[in-house]
Every structure is written in C-alpha cells, then in structure tokens.
C-alpha cells in the first residue's frame, strides 16, 4: 500500500475519534440544558463516529498495516445558544467530507482500487451526515424559538436509536 494513503487512513482514525469527542461535548452541552433528546441524538452521533474510527483501524489492520494511535484533541468550541452546536456539527461534517475526498484522491492517484472501494461507503455516509446536520438546523430554525415546539423536537430526537454501521470489515 502507498505510504501517503496509509498515512492519511491512519490520520483519519484520529479525526473520527475527535468527531466522537466533539459530539460527546455537544451532548454534554445539551445535557446541561436538560434537552435530553438533543443529548441523545449527539450521543448516538458520537457512537457512530467511534464506529467510523474503528472501521479505518480494521481496514488498515486487514491490509497488514501497523496502526499508530495518536492523541485526540480537546474539543475547543464554545457554545452559547442551543443552535450553536448544530452549526458546529454541520461545519465539522463538511470538513470530514473534505478529508475523505482527500484520501480518495490519494488512493485514486496510485490506482489503489481496494481503498477507493472501502471509501465509497464513507463518501455516501458523509452525504447523509451533511443532510442530517442541515435538516436539524432547518427544524431548529422553524421550531426552536417556541418552547412547546422545542419540547416536541426534543422528544423527536429522543427517539433516535443507535444502529451499527452497514459496512463490515
Ligand atoms: Fe465520521 Fe460524521 O463523519
């Protein structure tokens, strides 16, 4: 496997764990506001990100590559209003999409078709993640200012359940 592709895939383990950390931080913020549904939604988001990290780890291991785990940064975003983390989440997903596309680009340039095929799942997943983040912002803008509607939205988000990723390695 190409050195640059390995390096990018290894770095992505860290980026996905950071994503989990960021979403846990957001869940923590909502927990403090007693918006348990929002906290649930972001806790599940964090679980999904941990899954993503492990998929990158297993993919490297399955190719006989020794993985190097690096330190995870402290989430440093300051949230004031409940909509702030929603914007931070959407912005972060776009950043992650760029990272995935960058790895894809590196794999493409060395004709690493196996890695491209592995990344296909993530390309699709990122599309869904961006859509979900944007929809949440749209809903919050519609209902967030009205306490009764915010309560109902919180109830809706409380219903989200964790499902394991459809990709296995
Ligand atoms: Fe693993 Fe939300 O990107």
Nearest CA among 103, 9, 14, 92 for reference residue 50: 14
Ligand 1 shell residues, CB under 6 Å: 16, 19, 49, 52, 93, 96, 129
User: 148-160, pLDDT tens digit by residue?
Assistant: 999 999 999 999 9
User: 8-33, pLDDT tens digit by residue?
Assistant: 999 999 999 999 999 999 999 999 99
Token pair in block for residue 85: 């983390």
Task: State whether residue 82 is helix, strand or coil.
Answer: coil
Ligand 1 centroid to residue 60 C-alpha, Å? 18
Phi and psi (nearest 5°) for 111?
55, 40
Q: Where are the beta strands (DSSP E) in the chain?
A: none
User: 44-86, pLDDT tens digit by residue?
Assistant: 999 999 999 999 999 999 999 999 999 999 998 899 999 999 9
Name the average pLDDT for the chain: 97
Contact 76, 61 (CB under 8 A): no
Query: Domains of the chain by range and CATH?
Result: 3-158 (1.20.1260.10)
Given a cut of 90, whether residue 103 has pLDDT beyond it is yes
Ligand 1 centroid to residue 23 C-alpha, Å? 10
Contact 56, 16 (CB under 8 A): yes
Ligand 1 atom closest to the CA of 52, numbered from 1? 1
Token pair in block for residue 152: 């109902």
Given a cut of 90, whether residue 145 has pLDDT beyond it is no
User: What is the pLDDT at residue 127?
Assistant: 98
Ligand 1 centroid to residue 123 C-alpha, Å? 10
Ligand 1 atom closest to the CA of 15, numbered from 1? 1
């Amino acid at each position: 496997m190409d050195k640059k592709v390995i390096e990018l895939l290894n770095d992505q383990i860290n980026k996905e764990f950071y994503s989990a950390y960021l979403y846990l931080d957001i869940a923590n913020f909502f927990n403090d506001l007693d918006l348990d549904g929002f906290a649930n939604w972001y806790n599940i988001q964090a679980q999904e990100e941990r899954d993503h990290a492990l998929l990158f780890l297993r993919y490297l291991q399955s190719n006989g590559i020794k993985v190097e785990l690096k330190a995870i940064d402290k989430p440093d975003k300051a949230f004031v209003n409940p909509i702030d983390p929603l914007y931070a989440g959407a912005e972060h997903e776009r950043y992650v999409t760029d990272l995935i596309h960058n790895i894809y680009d590196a794999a493409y340039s060395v004709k690493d078709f196996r890695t491209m095929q592995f990344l296909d799942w993530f390309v699709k997943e990122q599309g869904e993640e961006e859509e979900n983040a944007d929809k949440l912002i749209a809903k919050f803008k519609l209902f967030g200012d009205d306490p009764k509607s915010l309560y109902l939205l919180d109830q809706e988000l409380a219903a989200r359940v964790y499902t394991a990723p459809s990709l296995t390695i």
